[in-house]
A and B are shown apart, each in its own frame.
Chain A
Amino acid sequence: MDRQVMLETARNMVATIDDLPTIPAVATQVLQLLNNPDVNVDEVADLMLADQVMTARVMKMVNSPVYRPSQEITSLKRALVYLGLRHIKEVALTSSFINAFEDKGGVLEVAPCWEHAFGVGMVAKVIAEKIHYPDLEKAYIGGIIHDIGEVVLSYYRAEQFAAVLEMTRQRPIKLIDAEAETFGTTHAEIGFCIAERWNFPEAYREAILFHHDPRAATSDPVLCAIINLADLFCTVRDLNYGGRSWVVFNLAEEDGWLILKEQFPSLAQLDVERFCYELDDAVPDVKELVSSIFSKA
């Protein structure tokens, strides 16, 4: 199917959702503040502290076993410094994004969705580290947000989306292909449109749009490849939407793997089996992070 047509379909679909969550005021202000080249971290921290929910989420994200700071980070300012000044924007957006969708489970339940999201974030960061990708946080955040389109479909198109999931159970069809058949577009295009509306930076928009087709990426194909692979690994290692998505893949034929190997030939030596087993070991950490983020305490 033509991607432009699918994008158009996605745009139209997103436009018809009249209660699509908006970015909280504080996030908008943070984004505005960050447009000022002389911004300092104190100002941003002060502004974000006005939103207690956002502050709490950032603190939980940064102190999670997934991120593993050497000591617990107790101030928002230090958290922002730790995550990297250049990432405050994404942190604010991600936190808002979690906020906006925390009660919007739909067909996919909230916890398995976020376990997949944070799992992909974590694995993307590990892969990024292995190939010396210069921006680990970008990989992490890109991983967290890659499936925002899925969350939207699951909540706003619940009935049809349930039928899509049923389709993937009845015959060996990939979720994304079943979506294209049913909606004429997929969670990748829908996610892209949401990211556009929310003014996510270009690299993230691209990562969302091309996480199933990293060869199509033009701005940062390596980032798309990292997220593509992280997504595949999570889907086969118990961070798979509670077993709702059934995937089989031959790593040697996956575009994400091939792109990364072209750039970083040493990746061919990776002990993939052990990588999977270590990922199994990290699954409880991810689940713990998600339950802590969504706990009301």
Chain B
Amino acid sequence: MAISDKDFELLRDFIYNLCGMYFHSTKKYFLESRLTKRMEATGTKTAMDYYSLLKSPRGGEELRFLLDEVTTNETYFFRCVPQLNAIETKFLPEIVEAKGKMGFRKLRIWSAASSSGEEAYTLSMMLLEKRSTLLKDWIIEIVGTDINETVVAQAKEGVYNAYSVRNVPDLYKKKYFKEENGKFILSPEVKKFVTFNKLNLYDDTKMVFMKSFDFIFCANVLIYFDLAAKSKVVQHFYNNLQPYGYFFVGQSESLHGVNDKFKTIHFPGGFGYKK
């Protein structure tokens, strides 16, 4: 179902103000298709009826369903290339230099909503490529956590379908995957830097133990939290970072108004938050 530009802008602004996810106008078609599904499910006839539903007391619950629709299939290898480029070109060398000077040759990375593991393993591959140069003799620890045990188990297994690996550069695909019956099996070399655990980001007693990370990633999760919960979790991330560490959210997310301690660092095609 096509929605008018005006209705699209209204919905986009409402969703953004509520959860901090921005729908680019290039994603209008995508939002339309997902909205159509939700409208069918809720029996609403027009975009404006659906908008009224979102604003009603039942709106919070419905927004979660909509966000599920929108973020589903959003987990794949090399998902956010501008982010990876910025890390590789700038942020990683900067941190390696600073820590190297202190004689502290250990890198810790946290994929805080790791789902089936694609993000954590992408980073592992990227760092593996630097094993003989920038990260020679460095200890690398990548931790993936998710609230959902099923996806944590999948992540540990490390077997993927063609959709998940569609963005993997050929060089990496050949080097780090074995293809069997249409499945892509990740090499043990990539897996050895990464551990996966179940973790609820809202669990303060567990969160305080996630210490000393250089990079933290948390995509497509904070959008589900209200402002108070978001602030609390983001403050944990802040505390859990090393000085000058970086925190990244998803490609269309915003932390505006959530935390005023992080500095926004802009790079080509995106931005991240620096402690």
Contact = CB atoms under 8 A, between A and B. Distances in A.
Contacts of B169: none
Contact of B255 (A235, A247, A251, A273): A273
A250 B268 contact: no
A238 B26 CA distance: 14
B22 A243 contact: no
Contacts of B265: 248-250
B90 to A, nearest CB: 5
A236 B269 contact: yes
B268 A276 contact: no
A252 to B, nearest CB: 5
A122 interface: no
Interface stretch (B105-113, B202-210, B233-241, B256-264): B256-264
A57 to B, nearest CB: 27
B211 interface: no
A271 B266 contact: no
Nearest to B267: A248
Contacts of B16: 274
A277 B254 contact: yes
A272 B256 contact: yes
Interface string B164-203: 0000000000000000000000000000000000000000
Interface in A218-274: 232-233, 235-238, 240, 243, 246-253, 271-274
A172 interface: yes
Nearest to A240: B268
A51 interface: no
B131 interface: no
Contacts of B269: 236-238
Given A271-B254, A271-B256, A272-B256, A248 B263 contact: no
Report the contact-size class of chain B (Cβ under 8 Å from the partner).
20 to 34
Contacts of B89: 172, 246
Contact of A249 (B25, B255, B266, B270): B266
Contacts of A248: 86, 90, 265-267
Contact of B264 (A172, A238, A247, A252): A252
Contacts of A233: 266
B25 A281 contact: yes
A280 interface: yes
Contacts of A232: 266
B254 A252 contact: no
The interface residues of chain A, by DSSP majority, are classed as helix
The interface residues of chain B, by DSSP majority, are classed as mixed
Contacts of A284: 26
Contacts of A238: 268-269
B24 A281 contact: yes
B274 interface: yes
Nearest to A277: B22
Contact of B256 (A247, A251, A252, A273): A273
Interface in B114-169: none
B14 interface: no
Given A236-B266, A271-B257, A172 B90 contact: yes
B200 to A, nearest CB: 26
A51 B268 CA distance: 40
Contacts of B270: 236
B271 interface: yes
Contacts of B90: 172, 248
A127 to B, nearest CB: 15
Nearest to A233: B266
A287 to B, nearest CB: 12
Nearest to A246: B268
Nearest to A270: B256
Contacts of B42: none
B21 to A, nearest CB: 10
Nearest to A169: B89
A238 B24 CA distance: 14
A237 B268 CA distance: 6
B33 interface: no
A271 B260 CA distance: 12
Contacts of A273: 22, 253-256, 264, 271
Interface of A: 172, 232-233, 235-238, 240, 243, 246-253, 271-274, 276-277, 280-281, 284
Given A252-B263, A281-B24, 9 more contacts: A233-B266, A236-B266, A236-B271, A238-B269, A247-B268, A271-B257, A273-B22, A274-B22, A281-B25
21 contacts: A172-B89, A172-B93, A232-B266, A236-B270, A236-B271, A237-B269, A240-B268, A249-B266, A250-B263, A250-B264, A251-B263, A252-B263, A253-B263, A271-B254, A272-B256, A273-B255, A274-B16, A274-B254, A276-B271, A277-B22, A277-B254
